[in-house]
Amino acid sequence: MKILLTTLLLVTPFAHAINAVMYQPQLRDTSVSDARWQSVLDKLKGQGIDTLVLQWSRYDDAFREGGSRAWLERKAQLTNASGLKLVIGLAADGQFFQQQKQPIPALENYLNHLRADDVSIAKRWVDVLGENAIAGWYISSELDDRRWRDPHMQQVAENYLTKMRLSLVAVADKPVAVSSFFAGNMTPDSYQKWVTTLSHTGVKVWIQDGAGTQVLTDAERALYLQAPSAGKVIELFRQDKQATTFKALPAPVAYQEKWLSTPVPQGQDRVYFSLRYMSAASGVLAM
């Protein structure tokens, strides 16, 4: 029985693969009307997209309450009504990468605080949309291959994801996903083993493919992308390396069209990042 349960835990997150696009809500988007949003949704469906992933539904104080929150909730309702599935991203902390440098006891307290925030937001979404309208949960805290190299830190991450999944499925029993990215700070083999361990928590791990940040060569990226993940995040941008702050432009149209016309591997989620760089959002969502 124990072997069977373990097998189910490993298989269940992979059961229903999605062909999705991730959307990063920005306050500047709140000028987008329902009609213009609907036009974006129609174009996405025409491109074979079946799921919209909200990267977050709160970023620090953005979308916490008031008109901005109402705008985002309305757009989620329209998305659901259009026939697209919704994976709901929760709370994002703009200081997450700084906060994770704390000593482990302080870090664990901080992660517990994040979990409480996520549960609160998840409950709000169930009230707004109804449980049946939610296809999954997305943990907005991305896990990289630098801070989490140490085995003790990896245990913290594993405990965090385990507790997070249990807390979220208690609100609504849906698949839970998180994304991870690499920059050559772990060896490919070490990274693959870590992703495997994280997957044992029952949380789907989506690996960002690194094509947009261009930190590693294609050959180097290919080694890391061999990790047995639940899916890939396809970066549809190209970062400007000369800029002092993050700045990017859409990847070439031919590159995007090639990916959009490529079948999704069986049992593997594909998540395009991000909606802002896709032709479907051109003229609607500002860069």
Mean pLDDT of the chain: 94
2-281 — its CATH code?
3.20.20.80
Q: Report pLDDT for 245.
A: 84
β-strands 51-54, 237-239 pairing = unpaired
User: In which band, very low, low, confident or very high, does the pLDDT at 3 lie, cut at 50, 70 and 90?
Assistant: very low
**Using only C-alpha atoms, what is the Rg of the chain?**
18
pTM of this structure: 0.94
Give residue-wise pLDDT tens across range 90-113.
999 999 999 999 999 999 999 999
Give residue-wise pLDDT tens across range 29-88.
999 999 999 999 999 999 999 999 999 999 999 999 999 999 999 999 999 999 999 999
Q: Report pLDDT for 243.
A: 83
Q: What are phi and psi of 206, to 5 degrees?
A: -100, 125
Of residues 1 and 85, more confidently modeled: 85
In terms of Cα–Cα distance, which of 198, 222, 232 is closest to 22?
Answer: 232
Give residue-wise pLDDT tens across range 242-268.
888 888 999 999 999 999 999 999 999
Domain residue spans in the chain? 2-281
If one counts every other C-beta atom within 10 angstroms of the C-beta of residue 146, the result is 14
Q: How far apart are CA 114 and CA 29, in angstroms?
A: 25
